[in-house]
């Protein structure tokens, strides 16, 4: 891990060397790109990585000032790459200065240690993205007018905050792929993490390219809130296994978020977009309002929600079985043991191993009687 002092340095360019120092190497690459701004020859290339491209100035009213809006294009790949590097650096900082210190205090097992790191990183990202997304939505009138999801489609122009939000989202989820190697994720956990990383990349990039950034933003904000609650609850659970109330609230909000996602998706692709004026397919205009693309997007969202509900049901069933087993084991431990029977007195007046004689005469009298 970067930013960490090691007693033993592995061989240069070995796997262990790259894993321990990957954040430092990525920092050097990001600094090289920033230094490119200092020279006139390289400035035009370096600025392509750092700043948001494809700005367009529009005048809405004669009295108002011009507004800077943005479109997307192939140069966005360079911007995504630069902020992918920034995400790797921030990932290493959170791991080194927050999560590792908490792990030393909790003394978790290897399995819980890996899940704790995963939840810690994702909780920080979901919290930041949720606050950022809410700040963008407050400037829109979605709460009073949901038709803004499809009115005026294609939405080829974006304000700076919306475009930068999508750039950072794509960069973060792409950075999660090499982090599987850098963090030494266990082989049994790699398929599960690959599934949700690829789903995030496909859905967010699809909403960005198809000019559906309004719908994508509205669907991401409640989803991130639910995921934030889940990973925060898991962090509290690892610190104290008795703290499980957060999972109950998460289960309720999870179902509500799935229903909200399906409702808005069907409303947009099934009723809103088919009734807009701009119907047809045009790459130059950024118009993808045709039946095939609408149904493909709706099917992708519905299948993803169905898969998430399937995983959710299996998770709840697993927890219910574990709870039932724990309750059964507790009942067996608390059940009273059978009481031992009283021992009967032995023949000849022996009770409890002691022989009691009923003859109270003296020894001399017993001898005389015997003679």
Q: For residue range 254-264, what is the model confidence (pLDDT) as tens digits?
A: 999 999 999 99
Dihedral class, residue 2 (left if φ above 0, else alpha if ψ from -120 to 50, else beta): beta
Per the structure, the complete domain to which residue 268 belongs is given by 78-104+112-154+167-326
Kindly report which listed range (32-36, 220-224, 245-249, 269-273) carries the lowest average pLDDT score. 245-249
Residue 213: partners with Cβ closer than 8 Å, 6 or more residues away = 155, 158, 162, 166, 207
Is residue 303 pLDDT above 80, yes or no? yes
Strand-pair partners of 70? 55, 158
Is residue 345 pLDDT above 80, yes or no? no
Residue 12 belongs to a domain: no
Query: Per-residue pLDDT averaged across 360-364, rounded?
Result: 55
Residue 116 belongs to a domain: yes
CA angle, corner 260, sides to 259 and 262, nearest 5?
A: 65
- Band of pLDDT at residue 60, cut at 50, 70 and 90: low
pLDDT digits (tens, 9 = 90+) for 311-330: 999 988 988 888 788 777 77
d(CA 186, CA 114): 8
What integer pLDDT is reported at residue 10 of this predicted model? 78
Q: What is the mean pLDDT of the chain?
A: 86
d(CA 20, CA 5): 9
pLDDT digits (tens, 9 = 90+) for 72-87: 999 999 999 999 999 9
Query: Contact 294/273 with Cβ under 8 angstroms?
Result: yes
Residue 56 belongs to a domain: no
Sign of torsion, CA 252 254 255 256? positive
Share of the chain above pLDDT 90, in %: 60
Residue 305: partners with Cβ closer than 8 Å, 6 or more residues away = 258, 261, 262
For residue 162, what are the CA distances in angstroms to 52, 136, 327?
A: 11, 7, 50
Residue 344 belongs to a domain: no
What integer pLDDT is reported at residue 65 of this predicted model? 73
CA angle, corner 61, sides to 60 and 64, nearest 5?
A: 100
Residue 179 belongs to a domain: yes
Up-side HSE of residue 2: CA atoms within 13 Å toward CB?
Answer: 18
d(CA 160, CA 68): 8
CA angle, corner 203, sides to 264 and 141, nearest 5?
A: 40
Residue 337 belongs to a domain: no
Number of compact structural domains in the chain? 1
Between 12 and 31, the higher pLDDT residue: 31
Q: Is 276 strand, coil or helix?
A: coil
Strand-pair partners of 316? none
d(CA 185, CA 193): 9
Tell whether omega for the bond before 154 is within 30 degrees of 0, i.e. cis.
yes
Is residue 203 pLDDT above 90, yes or no? yes
What integer pLDDT is reported at residue 111 of this predicted model? 81
The secondary element (H helix, E strand) that includes residue 282 is: strand 280-282
pLDDT digits (tens, 9 = 90+) for 138-170: 887 666 688 889 998 999 999 999 999 999 999
Q: Token pair of 225, please? A: 């809130």
Between 64 and 123, the higher pLDDT residue: 123
Residue 181 belongs to a domain: yes
Query: Per-residue pLDDT averaged across 333-356, rounded?
Result: 50
pTM of the model: 0.84
d(CA 130, CA 114): 24
What integer pLDDT is reported at residue 2 of this predicted model? 47
DSSP states of 182-248: HTT--TTTHHHHHHHHHHHHHHHHHHHHTT-HHHHHHHHHHHHHHHHHHHHHHHHHHH-TT--HHHH
Kindly report which listed range (100-109, 235-244, 302-311) carries the lowest average pLDDT score. 235-244
């Amino acid at each position: 891990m970067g930013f960490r002092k090691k007693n033993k340095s592995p061989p240069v360019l070995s796997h262990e060397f790259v894993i321990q120092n990957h954040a430092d190497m990525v920092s050097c690459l990001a600094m090289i790109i920033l230094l490119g701004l200092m020279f006139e020859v390289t400035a035009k290339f370096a600025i392509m990585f750092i700043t948001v491209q494809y700005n367009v100035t529009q005048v809405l009213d004669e009295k108002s000032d011009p507004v800077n809006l943005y479109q997307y294009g192939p140069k966005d790949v360079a911007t995504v790459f630069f902020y992918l590097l920034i995400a790797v650096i921030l990932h290493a900082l959170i791991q080194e200065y927050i999560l590792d210190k908490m792990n030393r205090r909790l003394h978790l097992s290897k399995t819980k240690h890996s899940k704790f790191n995963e939840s810690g990183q994702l909780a920080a990202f979901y919290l930041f993205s949720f606050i950022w997304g809410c700040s963008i939505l407050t400037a829109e009138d979605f709460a009073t007018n949901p038709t803004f999801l499809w009115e005026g489609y294609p939405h080829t122009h974006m304000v700076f905050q919306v475009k930068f939000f999508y750039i950072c989202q794509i960069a973060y989820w792409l950075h999660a792929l090499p982090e599987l190697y850098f963090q030494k994720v266990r082989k049994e956990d790699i398929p599960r993490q690959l599934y949700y990383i690829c789903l995030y990349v496909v859905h967010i990039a699809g909403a960005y390219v198809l000019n559906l950034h309004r719908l994508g933003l509205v669907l991401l904000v409640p989803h991130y809130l639910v995921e934030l609650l889940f990973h925060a609850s898991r962090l509290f659970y690892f610190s104290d296994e008795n703290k499980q109330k957060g999972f109950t609230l998460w289960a309720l909000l999870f179902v509500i978020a799935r229903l909200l996602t399906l409702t808005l998706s069907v409303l947009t692709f099934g009723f809103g977009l088919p009734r807009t004026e701009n119907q047809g397919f045009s790459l130059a205009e950024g118009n993808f309002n045709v039946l095939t693309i609408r149904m493909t997007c709706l099917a992708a969202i519905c299948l993803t929600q169905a898969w998430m509900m399937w995983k959710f049901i299996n998770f709840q069933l697993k927890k219910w079985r574990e709870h039932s087993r724990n309750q059964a084991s507790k009942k067996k431990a608390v059940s009273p043991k059978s009481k031992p029977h009283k021992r009967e007195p032995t023949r000849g007046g022996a009770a409890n191993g002691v022989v009691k004689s009923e003859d109270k005469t003296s020894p001399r009298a017993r001898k005389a009687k015997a003679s």
